[in-house]
Amino acid sequence: MTSKRDDNASMELRQATILFADLRGFSAIFSACAPAKMFELLNRWLVRMSEIAIAQQGTIDSFIGDAIMVVFDDPRRALECAVDMQVAMQGVNRAHRDAKLPEIYLGIGVNSGEVVAGVLGSPLYSAKTVVGEEVNLAARIEAFCLRGQILASEVTCGLCGEFADTGEPMEVHVKGRDQSVMLREVHGIPSAGKRVPRQEGRRSPRVQVRIPFSYQLLANDLVSQVRAQGSILYLGARGVLIELDRKLGLFEELKLDVELPLTGYRATDLYGRIVNAKPHEGRYRFGVEFTSLGTETSRNIRALVQLLVQAIGSEHRFPLPR
């Protein structure tokens, strides 16, 4: 570890690896049990995660609602800690099933780089912490996680060499950064015989939205001239959940025309196939898997999803009710 101390400001610049672990599905528990019980469950989880972090020589920086932030000198320790946390969630959920409580899931983001370490506050209250762009990036990375997933920056993975088993690099656009960031999913630590028990079948995030769109049906590869309207309820890089006022059949194909908010982009080359359907309060909801879309459309959909995922993730970290 290299560091540079500024005695005048009681702080130092140092290299560190930051881990953010955040609960998925905690809102379901929050609504399913009394505040006192919820507090007990959350504290039990935080205690278990803290034990794992300390065992891997991490320093607990803070608890943020239903999230924990841990700082490491050794990036390999951080990745092994992340894997241990995900493995431990199996025991947590066994206890939840026995107590007839909803299961909860964990998303973990890890990043490495230079941080500012020091004590913030006054004689009234102070806390030792680390701050900086690399800390913010670790939190952003965690927001991209599906449940049961670990995502680490390419920087962290590069520092660890072949210590961890990781997936192919994936490019994401992070709020507040002009340049995209490369991430890898951590699957396990081969030398320790540890494997992440993934809980999510989806391969990319999706977000809840309410976006109007128009569509045309396809028949024999010909696009109907008749346009109808609908709403996108969930948006992902590979498909959408839509709501229409008419019934359509499974495997029918659509051409969608949609103005993507926040991007200034209109997607007119988006095609999809209905893969599931169900009625809902007098209307119909359909899962649509994209079958064809242009490079620019794909890029803008991913950018919008990533932007919204980060916005939702930051809102999700709330203080406990008093």
Say how far apart CA 319 and CA 322 lie, in whole Å. Answer: 9
- Residue 13, strand partner residues: 4, 116
Say how far apart CA 204 and CA 144 lie, in whole Å. Answer: 8
* Cβ contact 220:251 at 8 Å: no
Burial (CB < 10 A; 0-12, 13-18, 19+), residue 307, is: middle
What's the pLDDT at 138? 96
HEC per residue, the chain: CCEEEEHHHCEEEEEEEEEEEEEECHHHHHHHCCHHHHHHHHHHHHHHHHHHHHHCCCEEEEEECCEEEEEECCHHHHHHHHHHHHHHHHHHHHHHHHCCCCCCEEEEEEEEEEEEEEEEEECCEEEEEEECHHHHHHHHHHHCCCCCCEEEEHHHHHHHCCCCEECCCEEECCCCCCCCEEEEEEEEEHHHCEECCCCCCCCCCEEEEEEEEEEEEEECCEECCCCEEEEEEEEECCEEEEEECCCCCCCCEEEEEEEECCCCEEEEEEEEEEEEEEEECCEEEEEEEEEECCHHHHHHHHHHHHHHHHHHHHHHCCCCCC
* Cβ contact 130:180 at 8 Å: no
What's the pLDDT at 146? 78
Give 217's contacts (C-beta < 8 A, 6+ positions apart): 223, 224, 226, 248, 252, 253, 254, 255
CA-nearest of 280, 311, 322, 321 to 31 is 321
* Cβ contact 310:175 at 8 Å: yes
Q: How many CB atoms lie within 10 A of CB 27?
A: 14
| pTM, rounded to two decimals | 0.70
CA-nearest of 93, 109, 90, 83 to 29 is 93
Rg, the chain, Cα only: 22
pLDDT tens, residue order, the chain (322 aa): 445 554 445 789 999 999 999 987 676 666 667 888 888 888 989 999 999 999 999 999 999 988 999 999 999 999 999 999 999 999 988 888 888 777 788 999 999 999 999 999 888 998 999 999 999 999 989 988 877 899 999 999 999 999 999 999 988 878 778 888 999 999 999 999 999 996 655 556 788 999 999 999 988 778 899 999 999 999 998 899 999 999 998 878 899 999 999 999 999 999 998 988 899 999 999 999 888 888 899 889 989 998 888 776 544 433 323 2
Burial (CB < 10 A; 0-12, 13-18, 19+), residue 33, is: middle
Q: What domains appear along the chain, each with residue ranges and CATH number?
A: 3-201 (3.30.70.1230), 206-311 (2.40.10.220)
Cα 27 from chain centroid?
Answer: 15
- Residue 213, strand partner residues: 230, 258
Say how far apart CA 28 and CA 280 lie, in whole Å. Answer: 22
